Amino acid sequence: MKKKAKVRTRRFDNWDGEYYERWVWLNEEIALDQLKYFNARLTYYAYGKDAVKTSTKFYSQPLVIATLERTKDGRLHIHAAVGNLPTKYLFEVHEWISKAWADCDFAYKHIKVDKLTNTFGWLDYMAKEVSDGNMDAICINSIKQPQSIQQLVGNRKLL
């Protein structure tokens, strides 16, 4: 992610499409907001209007598990595992993710999208900061999942 970005916001009264631009430094709160916006854009690109229709929104949401890490030079970056995408259009997944990330204000140009072949290995890599004592690395509050998965998990009883 970029360390700072020029953020453009619409003016409150918005006469003639006026915008206010300012430089904003990235912090963890803003990074989590960017992750939330990325999820919204990815949902739009993957499912379109099905994500808001009452008949289809039950399952029309990508599953996104993300971690927020800080590199040695202090730059924040995100690792994510993305699932529950429409299988009919899987050839477009790289484009959806790239476009959704490019829509974010703090999106750094470097992005790597790979097909997940070793689920345990990737999730273990994402959680490597936890073993170093950084329990906030996994963005538990930012996990996005479809309502159908939420309902399945909610109905299970703990033994």
| pLDDT score, position 158 | 40
More confident residue, 11 or 88: 88
Angle at alpha carbon of residue 64, lines to 51 and 61, rounded to 5°: 15
Phi, psi of 144 (to 5 degrees): -105, 130
pTM of the model: 0.80
More confident residue, 59 or 33: 33
Q: Looking at the predicted structure, is the pLDDT value of residue 107 above 70?
A: yes
Of the candidates 56, 29, 30, 28, the one whose C-alpha atom is nearest the C-alpha of residue 43 is: 56
Handedness of CA 134, 137, 138, 140 (dihedral sign): positive
The amino acid at residue 135 is M
Q: CB of 31 within 8 A of CB of 76? A: yes
- Give the rounded percent of residues in the chain with a pLDDT score beyond 70: 84
Q: Which pLDDT band holds residue 157 (cuts at 50, 70, 90)?
A: very low
- Half-sphere exposure of residue 110: CA atoms within 13 angstroms, side-chain side: 7
SS3 (DSSP) at 48: helix
Distance CA 39, CA 51 (A): 12
Across the range 91-96, mean pLDDT stands at 92
Average pLDDT, rounded, for the chain: 82
Q: CB of 142 within 8 A of CB of 32? A: yes
Element (H, E) at 53: none
| pLDDT score, position 59 | 83
Q: Which pLDDT band holds residue 143 (cuts at 50, 70, 90)?
A: confident
Phi, psi of 125 (to 5 degrees): -65, -40
pLDDT per position as a tens digit, 37-56: 999 999 999 999 988 888 88
Q: CB of 57 within 8 A of CB of 146? A: no
Across the range 132-137, mean pLDDT stands at 67
| pLDDT score, position 155 | 56
Q: Which pLDDT band holds residue 100 (cuts at 50, 70, 90)?
A: very high
Q: Looking at the predicted structure, is the pLDDT value of residue 153 above 70?
A: no
